[in-house]
Chains A and B, each alone.
Chain A
Amino acid sequence: MGAELRFPLRYRIGGLALALLVTLILAYLILPQFIILPLSFSDRSYLSFPPTGWSTEWYRKIAENPSWGEATANSLIIGIPAAFLSMIFGTLAALSIGRGSWRSAGLMSAVVVAPIMLPHVILAIGLYPIMIRLNFLGTHLAAITGHTVIGIPLVFITVKAVLAGQNGSLELAAMTLGANPWQTFWRVTFPMIRIGVILGGILAFASSFDELMLSLFLTGAGTRTLPKLIWEQLNEFLTPTIAAVATLIFAFTLVLLAIASGLRGLGSRYQVKSHG
């Protein structure tokens, strides 16, 4: 065995310092999210840290109170259609701007992305009178509409990123081979952007699942979403039940994240090198 080549000490100290810094930043980013875990198993009747004892009482409370289940159902009833609508419209917008030859493509991109840059309260105040007018207020449809507006930019961004990495001549090639525009989309374009569409859909769903401001304005007693119920509970009593709910949402979101990162890995297989 030959002697291993080692860097001089000062470089190794620098590397160590960098590793430490990265660890601290990661801890800063992640640790606060995990605080809710011990909080949710606390034996006190208020939110306290560090916990003094251990109980599953708060999880039992969730199971006993039907309003948590109803709110979860509402969140799904709103989030899933909103994600689907976002996938359709976001993909169409990305295709048009990414593949078309618009002179004002930059401006159009900005308009599509605007809803996630602007404060949700502006959107909420704007949608409120319209929903009253349409007599939609307090229905699932109102929240689905609102959440689709903030979901479209997310799908738009992910699909457009995938499109940008792909060659526009693939579609032209499909057409010379005999594929009409519909066949070209389903056999060539969609298989290539599918990952982006699904990823965007997951993001749109997650953002709907987490959205409070629009739900405050647009949902009623029967269509209360999970974030809105948490909000109401926080105002009345600050029990570890909130932490337990948050933990469950956290676990659910982690699953979504895992699916998303799994998809990302799949997507990279389709990168073509055109040379070599």
Chain B
Amino acid sequence: MAKHGARISLIDLAKSYGNVVALHPTNLVIEPGEFFSIIGPSGSGKTTLLGAIAGFTPPSGGRIEVDGIDIAGLPPYHRNIGMVFQNYALFPHLSVFDNVAFPLKLRKLPRAVIAERVGAMLATVRLTQLAGRRPSQLSGGQQQRVALARAAVYAPRMLLMDEPLGALDKNLREEMQSEIKLFHRKISSTVLYVTHDQDEATAMSDRIAIMNGGRVAQCGAPRDLYEHPCSAFVASFLGGANLFKVTGIENRGSGAVSCRTAQDHVFDAVDPSSGSRSHTSYVLRVPAEVIEIAPAGGEVTAKEMNRAQGTVVDAIYTAGTFRYQVEIGPAEPVSVRRPATHRATMLAPGQKVAVWWPASSTLLIPET
């Protein structure tokens, strides 16, 4: 199949219910063929956004353009958008074949064409053998693949997926993630994927929009978001990072700052705004994996390092990684993640330790 994904532009798209704003005017452009995820906590507006694009939720204002044509006023059945639901929404009274043939029959295609296209699609999702089964006779992963096939069989230029892996257990989720990625490459539609799972979005997406309180907090490639979060919310939602509340900032020139934390530590950091700070409160953000740890006295001293003394309060081993919680001040725990190489010994709770990390990995970001 040739590239045929649509470009989706949301222009000042907004939704309110009476006085309650579910979605503030939002602008987003999703490029043709892109795998674009929307993540955010519940109530952040991601379901409203999806509902508006699918046609279930009439927007209060703005436009939804598919390749330049506004579809905001069209009912769902005239939008030609494929959608995969969290609970799959397979028709229980129809066989796998008839579920997938459903959209083609509505489009009044000749019987032979329907059989051919359904057959090809079932082969793509490896369900040819199960064409005659009812959905209730399939496993969760199989039902999910039927839902994918049904949403894509009429080659819609855009596929919406609403937490499609939400009902599956962890191993199956990971398997289905690659399955969906592979499927996306084959059908080459634009995919808009909604999830609350940041790891899932990070693993699958070309770009991600993180939503909070009815707005897009930040939009970008997964690695960009992780390395350059624009706010404490984005950093904490993506996880894996330490945030220290800042009480005082001193400029040291060329984007470098020296910050005093709420617990009276002084850490050197990078200020991405290069001194033009307009927010009222700031935090320092340090990824857990850049922090080094050693028993007290055993630290390596180097320039441009932030360092602190503390006590291990928790030590966990998970899949090749040591995860420590180190208290470097009253109620100021630091998460540290170190690879568990064969020579490394695990530190024990209660042990006095030193932690240090490069100032260049310490980012000054607004709290909100």
Contacts and interface: CB of A to CB of B under 8 A. Distances in A.
Interface of A: 166-167, 169-170, 172-180, 183-184, 187-188, 191-192, 269-276
Contacts of A191: 91, 93
A111 to B, nearest CB: 27
Question: Which of A166, A175, A274 has the most chain B CB within a 10 Å cutoff?
Answer: A274
Contacts of B80: 178
Contacts, number: 83
Q: How large is the interface on B (under 10, 10 to 19, 20 to 34, 35 or more residues)?
A: 20 to 34
Contacts of B139: 276
A154 B80 CA distance: 39
A272 B54 CA distance: 24
Given A178-B77, A271-B136, A169 B154 contact: no
A169 B79 contact: no
Contacts of B134: 269
Nearest to B79: A176
B58 interface: no
Nearest to A270: B92
A176 B81 contact: yes
Given A172-B56, A177-B77, 20 more contacts: A166-B92, A167-B87, A170-B89, A170-B91, A170-B92, A173-B85, A173-B89, A176-B55, A176-B79, A176-B151, A177-B106, A177-B151, A180-B75, A187-B102, A270-B92, A271-B92, A271-B136, A272-B92, A274-B88, A274-B140
Given A176-B79, A176-B82, A192 B92 contact: yes
B167 interface: yes
B181 to A, nearest CB: 22
7 contacts: A173-B85, A175-B55, A175-B75, A176-B55, A176-B83, A176-B151, A179-B102
A10 to B, nearest CB: 42
Question: Which of B55, B56, B93 has the most chain A CB within a 10 Å cutoff?
Answer: B93
B76 A175 contact: yes
Interface in B123-149: 134-136, 139-140, 143
B103 interface: yes
